[in-house]
Amino acid sequence: MIRDENGKPSYQSTTWSTEKLARRAKDMAEGVRHSWTARQVEDEILGPLDGDSTPDTPSLAEWFEEWLGAITRVTPGTRATYQQQFRDHVSSTLGSMPLSQITALDVGKWVNRRKTEGAKNTTITRDFSLLQQCLDGAVRERHVDRNPCKDTDFVRNQIADDDTGEDGVGAFAHDEFELLRERFDKKWHPLLNFLAYTGARWSEATAVAVEHIVAPSTKSPQPKVRIYRAWKRSGVGAERYLGTTKGRRRRELTIFMELYEELRPLLHGKKKGELVCCGDEGQMIDYSNFYHRVWRPAMTEAQRCPAHPPGMRGERVSGLKGRCRDHGGTNDQGKPCGAWLSPGWNRCVNHIGPDPDAVSECDCPGVLRLEVPDGGPHRLRHSCATWMFPGGCRRWWCRAGSATRPWR
């Protein structure tokens, strides 16, 4: 059975010389969810009859380069990312196949192969979406009649049949955020509060310039911030530049008066175009440096209890000689550590004490507990959205309108 363009069913059948060929035809028809005609199934198994002509089509890799060079609504960085995606995840399996020969079965097998390789479903979804867009273009250019991606049973972002769909990043409660913020140097508080109370992305918050902060006035008594731009890359590993926000959505947000007062000192002495949240010399704050040198140490400290510190690495053993690796010591890459033992210890000086990322296991008050993994500063964007949900927004706005500050 197939369906025409109006959804009306049409029943077709084929006859085969052997049971093996008949079963293969049945599996193929079911694999494409009965979207092929009987003639298409026969041609796929037996090849076209004499006198038939199958139009030559480019390989997927050839078409991808042509398609990528023609799409217009992507940034140079996105274009470079698409190229790397296709090269690393698609080309080796499907790239050499002519467009007319790629079936839903091929796409399904490719998806399953990616799963066995250990790829996360979010990654597979991005790759699948890229392949589907590329093949949609092939349909528009009439290289193929139908996109095989649309005949698969792939479900975007589904981890397994029992996937609950729960977010893997998580969010902070108000008191958790306040507890964490106190572990940071105070110079980072304006940036952290900006991320948490505007919901801006990191690339947007660090791109806000002096003129994007709108002071309160008689006509508009509430201060505002304009999210008009974000940091982009022109290619993988390339320098960053200022471009449009994700989805090209420019927005103007009303902010707390307390947050505005906290940002005001960062505006003093700066000219139009200069960044509000920036490094000591006015430069862009690099996300990777901030995450590894500022965020992670503060996050770890917030999860440690003074009364119940995490376990120590190494033990006091007098008279030992040799290297750290002789007693199980490893370096940051997990390889045997070749440093000499510290006198009186069975570890070197760098591997004495708690692991840098170790946290306490107690439930004492004042110790941060995370039900899902860290997630980095992006967790603050999720937190802002959570606080604005029904039940959470009441406290959020109440705190904003109270006589006390919404943060300590």
221 assigned to some structural domain: yes
At 77 the three-state DSSP class reads helix
pLDDT of residue 390: 56
For residues 32 and 66, membership in a common domain is answered with yes
pLDDT of residue 169: 66
For residues 341 and 383, membership in a common domain is answered with no
Query: What is the residue-wise DSSP string for 197-259?
Result: HH---HHHHTT-BGGGEEPP-SS--S-EEEE--EEEESSTTPPEEEEPPGGG--EEEE--HHH
For residues 265 and 383, membership in a common domain is answered with yes
Distances from the Cα of 214 to the Cαs of 224, 226, 242, 274, 275, in angstroms? Answer: 5, 8, 20, 15, 14
133 assigned to some structural domain: yes
Cα–Cα distance, 287 to 204 (Å, whole number) = 12
For residues 286 and 346, membership in a common domain is answered with no
**What is the span of the domain harbouring residue 337?**
313-353
For residues 180 and 293, membership in a common domain is answered with yes
CATH number at residue 57: 1.10.150.130
pLDDT, one tens digit for every residue, the chain (408 residues)? 555 455 556 666 777 777 777 888 787 777 766 667 777 777 777 765 554 444 578 999 999 999 999 998 888 888 888 999 999 999 999 999 999 999 999 999 999 999 899 888 888 999 999 999 999 999 999 999 999 999 998 876 554 443 434 445 688 999 999 999 999 999 999 999 999 999 999 999 999 999 999 999 998 899 999 999 999 877 666 788 898 888 778 899 999 999 999 999 999 999 999 999 999 999 999 999 999 999 999 999 999 998 888 887 888 888 888 999 998 888 877 789 999 999 999 999 888 887 778 888 888 999 998 877 778 999 999 999 888 875 544 344 334 333 333 443
Host H or E run for residue 23: helix 19-31
For residues 330 and 267, membership in a common domain is answered with no
Number of domain units in the chain: 3
Phi-psi label, residue 149: left if phi above 0, alpha if psi -120 to 50, beta otherwise: alpha
- Residue labelled with tokens 């940071």: 184
For residues 298 and 324, membership in a common domain is answered with no
Cα–Cα distance, 311 to 86 (Å, whole number) = 45
Cα–Cα distance, 94 to 152 (Å, whole number) = 15
Q: Extract the runs of DSSP E, i.e. beta strands, from 218-358.
A: 224-227, 230-233, 240-243, 251-254
Residue type, 30: E
Closest CA to 209 of 258, 283, 272, 284: 272
pLDDT of residue 47: 65
pLDDT of residue 313: 83
For residues 81 and 194, membership in a common domain is answered with no
Host H or E run for residue 2: strand 2-3
- Residue labelled with tokens 């002789």: 326
Distance from chain centroid for Cα 284: 21
pLDDT of residue 136: 94
For residues 250 and 380, membership in a common domain is answered with yes
For residues 57 and 136, membership in a common domain is answered with yes
169 assigned to some structural domain: no
Host H or E run for residue 114: helix 104-116
Terminal Cα distance for the chain, rounded: 67
For residues 119 and 33, membership in a common domain is answered with yes
